[in-house]
Amino acid sequence: GAPPDALTVTELTVAYGPVRALRAVSLRVPAGGAVAVLGANGAGKSTLLRAISGVLPFHGGEIRGGRIEADGRDLRGRRADAIVADGIVQVPEGRQIFARMTVAENLRAGALTASRRGVAETYDLVMRLFPVLAERQRQRAGLLSGGEQQMLAIGRALMARPRLLLLDEPSLGLAPIVIDRIADTIRDIRRQDIAILLIEQNAALALDLASHAYVLEVGRVALSGPAAELAATDEVRRRYLGDN
């Protein structure tokens, strides 16, 4: 049969104290697939990623119901580092690179394996995906442009050899031409058989990159379907793509 989904979220409910941020949210990311989650500020997108990556408790949040499964295994209640070791790696919003370390040091910090050969192989792959980083390996990361820092953050996540990459607003604060380059890279990553869950306020970008998309509105899935179909609906065009 078909391989198990890279991620299956079923009826997930999350709260921060009295504030319910997600209400019975269900979604799936097929193995190697690219899925986008759209939504306005506060719709619950970051909360969804925090619940999957296991960092929700650090933000004062709590899973109140539902399931999160990857490759058929339950992620609920597991530690964030164990989830990374399982191949689910988040690229945080705002990049969070180590500004005083070099590009090469930032990348090596993302590696999990102790095998020098394994690290070297993955490092070479990242250099091929990001020629810009290859040119700047010995530079301090803090001196990179915003777009280069986003590439470094994605490259660092790839060093952990993920099966599923969680991308939190990769276009945030970047100029359109830079966003185009990030988009090209995300397409290259898809070709490496890495599944992607992309959280974006830039709906045009998200619907272009993903094959399926979910629209979150105040903590619920309001719409979902193939990206091309969603992009053609009146509601998505008006509310998220800025058409009149």
Residues near ligand ATP (CB under 6 A): 16, 19, 21, 39, 41-47, 59-60
Task: Give min distance, CB of 16 to ligand ATP, in A.
Answer: 3
CA angle 200, 172, 141 (to 5 degrees): 130
Task: Give min distance, CB of 169 to ligand ATP, in A.
Answer: 7
179 phi/psi in degrees, rounded to 5: -60, -40
3 or 60, CB closer to ligand ATP? 60
Task: Give min distance, CB of 106 to ligand ATP, in A.
Answer: 24
Task: Give min distance, CB of 21 to ligand ATP, in A.
Answer: 3
Task: Give min distance, CB of 62 to ligand ATP, in A.
Answer: 10
List the alpha helices (DSSP H) in the chain: 45-53, 80-85, 103-109, 116-129, 131-135, 146-158, 176-190, 203-209, 227-232, 234-239
The answer to whether the CB of 139 falls within 8 A of the CB of 103 is: yes
43 or 84, CB closer to ligand ATP? 43
41 or 244, CB closer to ligand ATP? 41
CA angle 162, 9, 95 (to 5 degrees): 45
141 or 166, CB closer to ligand ATP? 166
126 or 166, CB closer to ligand ATP? 166
Looking only at the bridges linking them, the beta strands covering 220-226 and 19-29 are unpaired
* Dist CA 34 CA 39 (whole Å): 17
* Dist CA 163 CA 196 (whole Å): 9
